[in-house]
């Protein structure tokens, strides 16, 4: 097959994939779901790691408190002098009826600071059902019932990516562009075809599943706990289930530097965790297919207006998804979707160039993770 037909075939496949993934997720979000998971009202432990003051932090932590009858809330912090500690204590004091505690301590069984922060909570948990929820996610009032409802037969983990809401400024809008109609779309579609994978923002476990995988410390054997969680569940022949609709994360203000650094970090995590899938990730955005279409038009293989039509259809589908999901979808957001796609190729290259990154002031490398895994210390109970 000559070059031009191959170029046309690739472009057509890319457009088809964009249409299938987007329309499938739109249908998913419009589909009512009858939750038939865990029967009864089992006890649930909520683990929320906290570190520093994040945007809208008091609002997001307040949503942890639930009317669910049998649950405990364990906020986990590494240091007593962390500025988040007074806020957490104030929230707990305002809800004297809640079974909520703040645990402070700095055990380090792994090279993952967030996982280390959670160890004390895992050990102290009263219940076998446990939710690890990042501090910057808004939890809906029925979040415990929703998680239990998704635990259908064959499930090993329930998870949810974050949906970026309330961005303040162009950089935060760019962050939402990466999260919503790109990463969330692909993760929700993966779940639709039975290939769901974990996202570290929300990890809902039954203790038995993680114990069979080697315990909580197992999640520290990869550069990110979501990669390790996905592998731990799949090794047991179980599935990662993704919530039907992602839970929101209010973004607030961002800087372009922080958005870039975060995307580089996630790119390296994906490359080290799933290199085969990462190898084709450069083709996942609109940049490469649209450039191919432009080249086809320059070669006279397709009419020039078809390229414009393709671009309108490509981002029009994303706009329809954002409208359906209630995600940001102004003209500025559409511009950020284009910028995001332009950034995907250089980010893909950056993903191949490094073996580590910095997270909350902590340098993390693959070598550190390996060394921590080889150190004695046992498995957290």
Residue 45: is its pLDDT beyond 90? yes
Counting every residue written for the chain, the total comes to: 381
C-alpha to C-alpha distance for 207 and 156, rounded to whole angstroms: 10
Mean pLDDT to the nearest integer, 239-263 = 96
Mean pLDDT to the nearest integer, 92-100 = 96
The two three-digit tokens of residue 125, written as one number: 């948990």
For residue 43, give Cα distances in angstroms to 49, 74, 158: 20, 14, 16
Give me the pLDDT at residue 373, please: 44
With cut-offs at 50, 70 and 90, classify the pLDDT of residue 370: very low
Residue 292: is its pLDDT beyond 90? yes
With cut-offs at 50, 70 and 90, classify the pLDDT of residue 362: low
Give me the pLDDT at residue 1, please: 57
Top-confidence residue, 112 or 367:
112
Mean pLDDT to the nearest integer, 101-117 = 90
What are the pLDDT digits (tens) for 203-236? 999 999 999 999 988 898 887 899 999 999 999 9
Mean pLDDT to the nearest integer, 135-151 = 95
What are the pLDDT digits (tens) for 319-348? 999 999 999 999 999 999 999 999 999 999
Average pLDDT along the chain: 91
Q: Is 155 helix (H, G, I), strand (E, B) or coil?
A: strand
What are the pLDDT digits (tens) for 229-239? 999 999 999 99
C-alpha to C-alpha distance for 145 and 141, rounded to whole angstroms: 9
Return phi, psi of residue 137, to 5°: -100, 135
What angle separates helix 170-178 from helix 331-353, to the nearest 10 degrees?
70
Return phi, psi of residue 102, to 5°: -110, 120
With cut-offs at 50, 70 and 90, classify the pLDDT of residue 108: confident
Mean pLDDT to the nearest integer, 151-164 = 96
Exposure class string for 255-285: b at 16+ Cβ within 10 A, else e = eeeebbeebbbbbbbbbbbeeeebeebbbbb
What are the pLDDT digits (tens) for 51-81? 999 999 999 999 999 999 999 999 999 999 9
Q: Report the percent of the chain where pLDDT is more than 90.
A: 83
Strand order in the sheet with 100-104: 100-104, 71-77, 44-49, 129-133, 202-206, 155-159, 239-242
With cut-offs at 50, 70 and 90, classify the pLDDT of residue 376: very low
C-alpha to C-alpha distance for 325 and 333, rounded to whole angstroms: 14
DSSP 249-305: EEEEE--HHHHHHHHHHHHHHHHHH-HHHHHTGGGSSSHHHHHHHHHHHHTTSS-HH
Count H helices and E strands in the chain, helices first: 15, 11
Beta-ladder partners of 241: 158
Give me the pLDDT at residue 107, please: 86
Give me the pLDDT at residue 365, please: 56
Residue 378: is its pLDDT beyond 50? no
What are the pLDDT digits (tens) for 8-33? 999 999 999 999 999 999 999 998 77
Beta-ladder partners of 363: 358
For residue 84, give Cα distances in angstroms to 51, 56, 88, 121, 122: 6, 12, 6, 17, 20
Residue 368: is its pLDDT beyond 60? no
- All domains of the chain, ordered by start, with CATH? 1-32+257-374 (no CATH), 34-160+199-254 (3.90.550.10)
């Amino acid at each position: 097959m000559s070059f031009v037909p191959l170029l046309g075939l690739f472009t057509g496949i890319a457009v088809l994939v964009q249409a299938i993934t987007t329309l499938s997720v739109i249908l998913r979000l419009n589909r009512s779901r009858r939750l038939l998971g865990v029967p009864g009202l089992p006890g649930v432990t909520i683990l929320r790691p906290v570190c520093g003051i994040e945007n809208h932090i008091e609002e997001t932590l307040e949503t942890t408190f639930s009317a669910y009858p049998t649950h405990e809330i364990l906020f986990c912090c590494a240091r007593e002098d962390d500025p988040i500690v007074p806020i957490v204590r104030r929230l707990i004091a305002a809800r004297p009826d809640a079974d909520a505690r703040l645990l402070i301590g700095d055990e380090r069984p792994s090279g993952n600071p967030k996982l280390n922060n959670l160890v004390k909570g895992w050990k102290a948990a009263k219940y076998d059902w446990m939710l690890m929820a990042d501090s910057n996610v808004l939890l809906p009032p029925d979040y415990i019932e929703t998680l239990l409802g998704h635990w259908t037969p064959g499930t090993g983990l329930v998870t949810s990516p974050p949906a970026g809401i309330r961005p303040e400024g162009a950089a935060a809008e760019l962050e939402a562009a990466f999260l919503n109609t790109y990463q969330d779309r692909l993760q929700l579609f993966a779940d639709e075809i039975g290939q769901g994978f974990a996202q570290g923002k929300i990890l809902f476990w039954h203790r038995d599943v993680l114990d069979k995988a080697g315990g909580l410390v197992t999640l520290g054997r990869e550069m990110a706990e979501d990669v390790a969680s996905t592998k731990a569940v799949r090794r047991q022949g179980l599935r990662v289930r993704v919530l039907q609709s992602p839970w929101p994360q209010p973004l607030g203000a961002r800087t372009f530097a922080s958005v870039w650094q975060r995307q580089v970090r996630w790119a390296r995590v994906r490359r080290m965790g799933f290199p085969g899938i990462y190898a084709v990730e450069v083709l996942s955005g609109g940049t490469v297919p649209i450039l191919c279409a432009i080249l086809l038009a320059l070669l006279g293989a397709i009419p020039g207006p078809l390229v414009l039509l393709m671009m309108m259809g490509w981002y029009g589908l994303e706009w329809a998804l954002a409208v359906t999901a209630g995600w940001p979808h102004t003209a500025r957001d559409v511009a950020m979707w284009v910028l995001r796609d332009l950034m995907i190729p250089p980010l893909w290259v950056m993903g191949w160039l490094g073996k580590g990154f910095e997270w909350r002031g902590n340098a993390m490398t693959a070598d550190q993770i390996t060394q921590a895994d080889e150190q004695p210390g046992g498995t957290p109970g």
